[in-house]
Amino acid sequence: PITPGELLCLGSSLAFSGLFYYLYRRKARVVARIQEAPKLQVDDDLPALVSAAEGRCLPYVALEGIVLPAQAALTSHYHERLQGVIQKLLLKEHRLIWNSLARSW
């Protein structure tokens, strides 16, 4: 005979398996879209292509070309021959609110 505890464990195991499979499939579709992204060259035609796109936005593209740093290129601490640049830096500050109950910010 199967006890109610065993049925509960089996049901929760099936529910979690279904949830994780759903999340896996959703992420796999995103990865497939990124891998199928068109490869564009960084040249004078790129601004016209972006402005002609719907919403002036290209959802997934791979840009190929030479990038010049604004000041100096970043060098890897672990591999001396690797260099890179930062495209965009986003700083987000969270507002601190005093919680009098926990006596913390």
What percentage of the chain reaches a pLDDT higher than 90? Answer: 27
Structural domain boundaries of the chain?
4-84
The tokens for 13 are 């195991």
Q: Return the SS3 of 62.
A: strand
pTM: 0.47
Please give the Cα distance from 74 to 82 (Å, whole number). Answer: 8
Of residues 53 and 14, more confidently modeled: 14
Q: Specify the higher pLDDT residue, 25 or 100.
A: 25
As a dihedral over the C-alpha atoms of residue 85, residue 35, residue 53, residue 43, rounded to 10 degrees, the angle is 40
